[in-house]
Amino acid sequence: MERCEFIIAQLGITDTQRALMDIAHLSGSFHTRQHTQKQHENDPNLQLTPYYFSGKPEDVKPEFRSELATLSAAAILEYLDNDLNYDLVAGVPNSGLAIAEVISRKTGILLITLEKEILSDGRRRISSTIHGSYQPGQKVLGVENIVAYGNSALEFRGVLASQGLHLARLISVYSRHEGGLERLQVAGINASSVLTSSEVVMYLRWAKSPPALDFIRYSEIMDFIVTKFMQQAQD
């Protein structure tokens, strides 16, 4: 077994996940430029993140948008392993919208759509208007591109609850190791992710030939991930 295949086997990466990570890297959905996060709105002195995930259409190269959404949906459905006992599917706006649309087409689960609105002070929030056909009491499968701190998912659940809908499960393509999944679970949400940011970074560095990340950038990102993880563990 070649080194790359050995590492893939050790990480437990499926063929679908492998294809997804390749497209995420090629498309610009995952990049290794320094970037701000939502928390910088409240604390501009926070350290910039050395990597970033985005499923927003404007952040993804146009020629890869459809394939990225299709592979993201396929990875989620593979992870769910036929756990499809939901009345509705909805994406956390905006990055989860395209993924939810694909899941709806592939499974027949009815799609509802939530959108973000811009407030007078420039901040964005999820609108209380839900598009699509639904009834109070129905169970919703929520999908997200990435969970960091979990704020968007909590807001998402609140909007669903305001219309009598139950967020039965939230599944994200990626988790950033920043306490979001744990925070959601403590809040009573059945939340999980297909992949973690560390798995993606290790795959791009050690399971690609030639490596998609040089060792210096790989080390910088992993140091950031570990530091964030340790900070969350201490809180």
Does the CA dihedral 113-27-228-208 come out positive or negative? Answer: positive
Q: What is the pTM of this model?
A: 0.91
**DSSP letters for 32-60:** -S-B--GGGGT-TTSPPBS-EE---GGGS
Question: What is the domain-level CATH number for residue 26?
Answer: 3.40.50.2020
Which residue type, as a one-letter code, is found at position 23?
I
* Per-residue tokens: 9: 């086997």
Using DSSP's 3-state secondary structure scheme, residue 5 falls into helix
- Would you mind telling me the total number of residues written for the chain in this entry? 235
Which pLDDT tens digit goes with each residue over 32-50?
877 666 665 566 666 778 8
The residue range of the domain holding 21 is 3-234
Task: Quick: pLDDT tens for 195-220.
Answer: 999 999 999 999 988 899 999 999 99
Name the token pair of 102.
Answer: 């694909």
Quickly state the pLDDT bin for 175 (edges 50, 70, 90).
very high
Which residue in this structure is represented by tokens 């959601």?
184
Structure-derived torsion over alpha carbons of residues 152, 50, 53, 160, reported in degrees to the nearest 10: 0
Number of domains the chain is built from:
1
What distance in Å separates the CA atoms of residue 33 and residue 49, rounded to the nearest whole number? 8
